[in-house]
């Protein structure tokens, strides 16, 4: 095989990476359709919901704000709000039952997963580990919409989940938080593309989010949180549940969260996630082999596609790669799909009640959404490259020794 043939083959392999955004748009459309048409709700099947906020306890004002918002919904279901907190922190929350994890409680996981395992045992002692009870997990910076709670409660599945949307104080404040908010656009985008298909359609989740994960008491009792993990408890629980045959559902509603307020917190958050996933991939007492390979393949494919598409774009734009005009059209369509997908994420993230409440008039609200969507589209090249760079940085940084807790509140939120 001569050098020109090798170059031609290499060019076409690179060009194949340009098909990925087109495939992703098709997957997002298919998953969204599935979530609207095939997501099964059975009102009356479930009798009680526990909305659990698991917190270290360092930001009680934010936790109380979440509790107050949940009470304002006036939900037409039987529900309780639990706050599970580490010892030595504020416990005088109103309109919620507080559980302090005992100092001497021990199990295989540590930190947050340890607290989750403790609360599971509390539920078991109260005979709440049944298929009629739903548990909705909420972090101290997250707030499910009323629609989210309703769909999660009525969803006829052992586990179900909606879309993570960083809409609380999205793009609000200084330029630093504006950029970090848009770096979280990829979270919404991944939910729309991958969660919708792997959770909803295939029942084999690739991503699982602790924010807004809803499970039955029976599912929690079967799977448990008792595994030797420091982080990624959500991924570990969700994939192990799927592995043993429990049912998964995906629905279209938002669990609203807050993006990190500083670069340090952004990197610390990703550091925790990355090594939680690495540990899960490496250890069979944490994650089944098939799922470990699946997640490892996702990392490898993500890195390879970024490298291939970057090189391929350079070759095409400089004229080094000579492919038929039809291939150039595919390149342009694929590029448009990539930019459009981030624009859709920006439009979703800038919407919702949290952003509406921060704008004095409807005109300011819609102008804000338009500006943020344009910014999300313009930010696409950065958002396509930065996540893989962050994974490499986190890998080189080494494994964290503890569960990394980042600051969730900010003076901007108070104002």
Give 4 or 207, the one with higher predicted confidence: 207
CA–CA dist 251, 330 (Å, integer): 31
Q: Which residue did the predictor score with more confidence, 312 or 374?
A: 374
Transcribe 369-382 into DSSP letters: HHHHHHHHHHTHHH
d(CA 362, CA 275): 43
> Looking at the predicted structure, is the pLDDT value of residue 239 above 70?
yes
How many residues comprise the chain? 415
Residue with tokens 């090249």: 381
What are the pLDDT digits (tens) for 314-368? 766 676 666 666 667 777 888 898 899 999 999 999 998 888 988 889 999 999 9
In this prediction the pTM is 0.90
Answer yes or no: are the C-beta atoms of 286 and 227 closer than 8 Å.
yes
Question: Residue-wise over 145-163: b if at least 16 C-beta within 10 A, else e?
Answer: bbebbbbbbbbebbbbbbb
Spell out the domain ranges in the chain: 3-25+293-407, 37-262
Per-residue pLDDT, averaged over 261-281, amounts to: 88
Please write the tens of the pLDDT for every residue from 13-66.
666 677 788 888 999 999 999 999 999 999 999 999 999 999 887 788 889 999
Tokens representing 340 are: 């459009």
Q: Mean of the pLDDT values across residues 389-398?
A: 88
Contact 251, 144 (CB under 8 A): no
Question: Topology of domain 37-262, per CATH?
Answer: Spore Coat Polysaccharide Biosynthesis Protein SpsA; Chain A (3.90.550)
> What is the average pLDDT across 136-151?
93
Instruction: Work out the average pLDDT over 284-303.
Output: 81
DSSP 354-413: HHHHTSSSHHHHHHHHHHHHHHHHHTHHHHHHHHHHHHHHHHHH---SS--------HHH
Range from 83-97, 148-162, 386-400 carrying the lowest mean pLDDT: 386-400
CB within 8 Å of 399: residues ≥ 6 apart: 275, 278, 279
């Amino acid at each position: 095989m001569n050098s020109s043939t090798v170059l031609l083959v290499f060019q076409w392999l690179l060009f194949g990476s340009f098909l990925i955004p087109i495939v992703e748009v098709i997957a997002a459309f298919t998953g969204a359709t599935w979530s609207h048409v095939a997501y099964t709700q059975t009102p009356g099947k479930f009798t009680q919901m526990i909305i659990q906020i698991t917190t270290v306890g360092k930001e009680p004002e934010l936790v109380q704000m979440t509790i107050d918002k949940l009470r304002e919904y006036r939900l037409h279901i039987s529900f309780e709000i639990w706050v599970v907190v580490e010892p030595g922190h504020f416990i005088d929350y109103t309109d919620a039952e507080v559980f302090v994890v005992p100092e001497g409680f021990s199990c295989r996981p540590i930190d947050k997963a340890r607290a989750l395992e403790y609360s599971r045992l509390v539920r078991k002692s109260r005979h709440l580990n049944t298929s009629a009870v739903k548990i909705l997990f909420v972090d101290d910076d997250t707030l499910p919409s009323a629609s989210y709670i309703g769909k999660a409660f009525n969803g006829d599945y052992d586990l179900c989940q909606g879309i993570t949307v960083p809409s609380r104080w999205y793009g609000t404040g200084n330029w630093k938080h504006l950029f970090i908010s848009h770096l979280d656009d990829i979270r919404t985008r991944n939910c729309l593309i991958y969660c919708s298909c792997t959770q909803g359609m295939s029942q084999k989740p690739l991503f699982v989010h602790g924010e807004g994960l809803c499970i039955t008491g029976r599912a929690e009792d079967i799977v448990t949180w008792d595994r030797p993990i420091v982080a990624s408890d959500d991924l570990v629980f969700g994939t192990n549940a799927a592995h043993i045959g429990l049912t998964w559902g995906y629905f279209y509603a938002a669990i609203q969260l807050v993006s990190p307020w500083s670069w340090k917190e952004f990197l610390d958050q990703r550091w925790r996630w990355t090594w939680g996933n690495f540990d899960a991939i490496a250890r069979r007492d944490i994650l089944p082999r098939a799922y470990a390979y699946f997640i490892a393949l996702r990392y490898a494919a993500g890195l390879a596609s970024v490298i291939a598409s970057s090189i391929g774009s350079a070759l095409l734009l400089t004229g080094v790669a000579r492919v038929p005009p039809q291939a150039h059209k595919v390149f342009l369509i694929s590029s448009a799909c990539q930019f459009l997908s981030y624009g859709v994420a920006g439009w979703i993230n800038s919407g919702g009640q949290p952003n509406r409440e921060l704008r004095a008039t409807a005109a300011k609200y819609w102008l804000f959404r338009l500006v943020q969507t344009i910014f999300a589209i313009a930010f696409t090249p950065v958002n396509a490259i930065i996540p893989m760079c962050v994974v490499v940085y986190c890998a080189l940084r080494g494994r964290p020794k503890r569960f990394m807790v980042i600051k969730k509140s900010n003076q901007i939120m108070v104002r």
